[in-house]
A and B are shown apart, each in its own frame.
Chain A
Amino acid sequence: MTINTHEIVLNRLSVSYGDTQVLHELSLAVDAGEFVAIVGKSGSGKSTLLYALAGFVKSEGEIKKPDSIGMVFQDYAVYPWLRVSANVAFGLRGDSSADRREIVHRYLDLVGLSDHAQKFPAQLSGGQVQRVALARALAPNPDLLLFDEPFGALDIYTREKMQTWLLNLWQTEHKTALFVTHGIEEAIYLSDRVVVIGAGSIVGQYDVPFSRPRDETIKYSAEFVALKQEIRSLLEGGTKPIDTPALETQL
């Protein structure tokens, strides 16, 4: 197998919580710099896939992943006891204090929160806090970014604003990313590939046919609507696995 050409390789990955099997022999390969969205119903195992990849839960099977990972959670997981700048600096322990200041300044600038550096998370809006979480995940310059429904707790207006903002940010940073979401539209809009998970297995994969840079107008194109409809039908059609390429074929 030529698995070394991929940034991430999951081969026959299984995860169980007690007697309940959440992921069942799931295989997936992701290229360096690729943005992959993972969609699925609640309880389908999409978040567990990220947790297993990050090493938070025990798993069986083969995992190849980069050493440095940044993760953004739905509940932000930004530390309320640290100011915004200290939150962003949290993962920069090895750097000198001058380097730390410069990196924090750069990423706060990037996420548009330079004026809020000395505030506490409780003094920010939900969207701003999520941007702090993203700046914190990006600051140590990880090779892989994992997003666990990062905009799930935001209202629809802020959510759409954050999607466009993330799209632009990814244009600059261009990290390998796995983005778990409930939203099919969000998945297509942001990613290069949409992976559909049902009952712990991959039930479908779709390459997103839109080039970058993108803007919101693609959401109204016939191609976008058709793809969205196709994924929705697959999700609503239950968990019956459809033919997906085996790992060897993907490789």
Chain B
Amino acid sequence: MIMVDFVLKSAKHFWPATVSVLVLLLVWEVVARQGFIHISLFPPPSHVVEALQRLAESGELWRDIKASLVRAFCGLGIGSAVGVVVGLVTGRIRILDRFITPLVQLFRPLPPVAVIPLVIVWFGIGEASKVFSIAFAVFFPVWINTYLGAKQIPRTYLWSAETFNAHGFWLFLKVIFPGSLSFVVAGVRNGIAVAFIMVFVAELAGASAGIGYQISVSHLAYRVDRMIGSLVVLGLCGACADLLFTKSLWFAFPWLKLGAQK
């Protein structure tokens, strides 16, 4: 009974999106089969699914997904961790704000893609350069959001903590970090999107596996069906990562969901 309720509730929630996707696929399939554009340049979704199926059967699809996800999550993890720590300390400690924030602001306008050639010179073409490039790109949105979050904490939260002698690391852990968490979440969600953009770009710059690599080699072979299939997989990976992150957050910090409902 609970299962039936869940299915009905989900169906009620998702049916508009499902209808939109089905209509898009149907229109795409019909238009592609009319032959206005050669079918190999503009393949219908059924061909894309077939191409993905063949990639899955050969094991390439899983290898590429694994390679891209490992890079994305390593870069995301490192970039987010550094972004959160630097954001919290620059947001709350005035002397560090004065010294570090101008430096960060100097690098922030740089397009992260532009540093890839330099990173390859420094770290080589292996995994380190890719992970570094992703972490570099993720750092900035996470930092700026955390920084603003740490600055907006109501002063009464801090004063209240002061009456209980909460200082230093304890204050950061128990008041400043959770008090900035909704901003941190916004930063990391932004970072997830950036990480998947950077994974693609970093793999174009030299890789032997990964979804970006697959798109690159499919392009050389004029396999548009594979290119579109890989793009869809990359998009789905990003969307799933964001969904997983949001759901885990609500599980770990249920009060965030309560705040959103209010």
Least Cβ distance of B32 to chain A in Å?
50
- Bound state CA distance, A120 and B258, in angstroms? 8
Closest-by-CB residue of A relative to B174 is A90
A52 at the interface (CB under 8 A from B): no
Asked if B254 contacts A71 (CB within 8 A), the reply is no
Question: Which residues from B are CB-within-8-Å of A77?
Answer: 154, 156-157, 159-160
Chain B 81-97, CB-CB to A under 8 Å as 1, else 0, gives 00000000000000000
Interface residues of B, count at CB 8 A: 25
Residues from chain B with Cβ under 8 Å of A250 in the complex: none
Residues of A with C-beta under 8 A to B178: 79, 81-82
Contact, CB under 8 Å: B159 / A75: no
Q: Which residues of B contact A (CB under 8 A)?
A: 154-157, 159-166, 170, 174-175, 178-179, 181, 253-255, 258-259, 261-262
Residue pair B255, A120 in contact (C-beta under 8 Å): yes
Which interface class (under 10, 10 to 19, 20 to 34, 35 or more) fits A? 20 to 34
Instruction: List, in ascending order, chain A residues with CB within 8 A of B258's CB.
Output: 80, 120, 122-123
Which chain A residues border B156 with CB–CB below 8 Å? 73, 75, 77
What number of A-B contacts does a CB cutoff of 8 Å give?
Answer: 60
Binding site of B, secondary structure by majority: helix, strand, loop or mixed? helix
The 6 closest A-B pairs by CB, nearest first: A91-B164, A77-B156, A81-B178, A122-B258, A77-B160, A73-B156
Chain A positions within 8 Å of B159 at CB level:
51, 54, 56, 71, 73, 77
A69 at the binding interface (Cβ < 8 Å): yes
Residue in A closest to B175 when the chains form the complex, CB atoms: A79
Give 14 A-B contacts (CB < 8 Å), ordered by A residue.
Answer: A51-B159, A56-B155, A71-B159, A75-B156, A77-B159, A81-B179, A81-B181, A81-B255, A82-B178, A90-B164, A90-B166, A90-B174, A91-B163, A120-B258
